[in-house]
Structure 1
Amino acid sequence: MPELPEVETIRRTLQELVVGKTIQHVTVYWSKIIKKPIEVEQFNDALAGETITDINRRGKFLIINTTTFALVSHLRMEGKYGLFKSSEPFDKHTHVIFHFTDGTELRYRDVRKFGTMHLFLKGEENTNLPLSQLGPEPFSANFTKKYLQEKLKKTERKIKPVLLDQTIVTGLGNIYVDEALFRAKIHPERKANTLSSREITELHREIINTLTEAVEKGGSTIRSYVNSQGQIGMFQLQLFAYGRKGEECKRCGTPIEKIVTGGRGTHFCPKCQKTKNK
């Protein structure tokens, strides 16, 4: 699933590709992707004649702003956007097409059909699900060390599932939680409320640093992620833990191990990352 760095990269490329284009009409081939409004015809009618004014992001959600509306889009596992000429063929996995007046099309392709789209009047998107339940952005002023410490001290859950909880901090997923925990030298199964103030300070810093570096590299190409111009991310070349089971730790040389934590495959160094719960 694309995480914050990948979605931010897609946002930036879509900003270049489609802002200023006017939607002539919309074609929906898989109606279950459209969650709001319930009737696809209402979705199509609302967007016809609308001009795309901006592309924003909230956590792992893209927000496509038009003159009147905010389209909240979640890519889930395999969702992709791409800009094409209307004359170019499309395959069976293309489920939504935004036809522009200039003869180009923004196509949403999703092999697994898990993606979602919610359409709101501008200004209503942040006070309704799915965005209203999200915690602060890692890059926002609200995501302070004090905020993180208050959240962690209230729970005995393992630290990895806590960081994956989008109501606590939004945008983090499996890859970047593993990486931030490695950099902070914290075992993924430590109870959140056992972390010291120093460890929380380090973790807070490494969450931000890891995501910043990943955004600069265009995200990580794991499985089939590409941005909206078909380009792959390069941060996977800098991964310390995720996907490196059996490989030597870049810090100490110990083989990276993989376990299941909170139902998610989890990579860590058994020597560098502390295991003891206080």
Structure 2
Amino acid sequence: MPELPEVETTRRKIEPLLLGRIIERISHDAPHKYRNTHLAEGKRVSGLSRRGKYLLLQLTDSEAAEGLPHDLELIVHLGMTGGFRLQAGQHTRVTLTTDAGTLHFDDPRRFGKMAVVATGDYGGMPTLAAMGPEPLSDDFGEAEFVRLARECGAVKPWLLSQKPVSGVGNIYADESLWLAQIHPAQTKLTAAEAKKLYAAIREVMGAAVEAGGSSLGEGVGNYRQHDGEGGWFQVQHHAYGKAGQPCDRCGTPLEKIVLGQRGTHFCPQCQRVRRA
């Protein structure tokens, strides 16, 4: 699933194609998955931001019809395999036509979603509404993270909840916990552990954004951008997807367990559960 680095890379790539453009039409055949997209038609894309794993297109129109809000947002969640393309293909689910061209939203596994809402009205999107701070922003403070971590349950599912910090998914949780030398099932982190994890999250996410995210495998759902470019952070992975391979730190074979219904990779030597 695209996580913060992949979604941020997507934002940067499509921003020049959409910023300032007028959306003429959004075509699809699944109104239950792509909700109220007709409200975006005739609007200008005045901004393109990201919140965690969500893309937010700010829409404005000084001559909005009576009864409609003047400020709307088109929210896009890429799901597990969603991405934008310049050409329509076998897995195109949505076509977005502007006054300057067309973008196609491809999604082989059909988990992606879109919705047009009044700006900031995320009542129908509980994950987005309750999302924690951005990991690379000043809002992500060490002291508050340490405070919250003192009472956390198993740390990896806690990170995946998006509440302590936004945008960290399966890949980057494994990588951050490996770097911090914390077992994914560890509960109630000490202040020292939480500080190490805080620093690891910022380091891993910063490097992953710089590398354009992670591209895994060769299938149709493999993450890539509209220009065909994939990410390169996978060559820096130390834990994710490396079960059975020697740990880059100590040489012990890495292990994989299921935690919170997610495959989880760690080093049994470097990342031991601390017993109370």
TM-score, normalization: structure 2?
Answer: 0.89
User: Please, which runs of 5 or more residues in structure 2 have no aligned partner?
Assistant: 61-70
* Partner in structure 2 of residue 186 of structure 1: 182
Q: In structure 2, what is the Cα distance between the partners aligned to 1:263 and 1:54?
A: 36
Identical amino acids, percent of aligned pairs: 39
Name the structure where helix makes up a greater proportion of residues: 1
Identify the match of residue 259 of structure 1 among 252, 257, 260: 257
Q: In structure 2, what is the Cα distance between the partners aligned to 1:52 and 1:8?
A: 17
* Partner in structure 2 of residue 148 of structure 1: 145
Root mean square deviation of aligned Cα: 1.6
Q: In structure 2, what is the Cα distance between the partners aligned to 1:231 and 1:53?
A: 26
The amino acid that maps onto 2:131 is L
Q: CA deviation at 1:180?
A: 0.4
**Is 1:58 the equivalent of 2:56?**
no
The amino acid that maps onto 1:78 is T
Q: CA deviation at 1:190?
A: 1.1
* Partner in structure 1 of residue 130 of structure 2: 133
Q: In structure 1, what is the Cα distance between the partners aligned to 2:132 and 2:123?
A: 13
Alignment size in residue pairs: 261
Tell me whether 240-249 or 146-155 shows the greater mean CA deviation.
146-155
> Given that residues 150 and 190 in structure 2 are in contact (C-alpha distance below 8 angstroms), is that contact kept between their aligned partners in structure 1?
no
Q: In structure 1, what is the Cα distance between the partners aligned to 2:227 and 2:90?
A: 20
**Is 1:73 the equivalent of 2:71?**
no
Q: CA deviation at 1:140?
A: 2.5
Q: Note the 1:101-120 alignment, pairs <5 A.
A: 101-102=99-100, 104-120=101-117
- SS of the residue aligned with 1:32? coil
> Given that residues 40 and 116 in structure 2 are in contact (C-alpha distance below 8 angstroms), is that contact kept between their aligned partners in structure 1?
no
- SS of the residue aligned with 1:154? coil
* Partner in structure 1 of residue 66 of structure 2: none
**Is 1:48 the equivalent of 2:41?**
yes
* Partner in structure 1 of residue 92 of structure 2: 94
- SS of the residue aligned with 2:194? helix
* Partner in structure 1 of residue 20 of structure 2: 20
Q: In structure 1, what is the Cα distance between the partners aligned to 2:166 and 2:28?
A: 29
Q: In structure 1, what is the Cα distance between the partners aligned to 2:209 and 2:95?
A: 27
The amino acid that maps onto 1:134 is M
**Is 1:10 the equivalent of 2:10?**
yes
Q: CA deviation at 1:228?
A: 3.1
Q: CA deviation at 1:112?
A: 1.5
**Is 1:232 the equivalent of 2:230?**
yes
Post-superposition CA distance 1:208-262 (Å, at most 9, x none): 0000000000000024011232211000000000011111111111111111111
TM-score, normalization: structure 1?
Answer: 0.88
- SS of the residue aligned with 1:9? helix
Q: In structure 2, what is the Cα distance between the partners aligned to 1:170 and 1:205?
A: 15
- SS of the residue aligned with 2:264? strand
Q: Note the 1:154-193 alignment, pairs <5 A.
A: 154-155=151-152, 157-191=153-187, 193=188
Q: In structure 1, what is the Cα distance between the partners aligned to 2:90 and 2:13?
A: 24
Post-superposition CA distance 1:30-77 (Å, at most 9, x none): 323223x3xxxxx32x22222222210000001112224211111111
User: Please, which runs of 5 or more residues in structure 1 have no aligned partner?
Assistant: 38-42, 85-89
The amino acid that maps onto 1:230 is G
> Given that residues 137 and 171 in structure 1 are in contact (C-alpha distance below 8 angstroms), is that contact kept between their aligned partners in structure 2?
yes
The amino acid that maps onto 2:203 is N
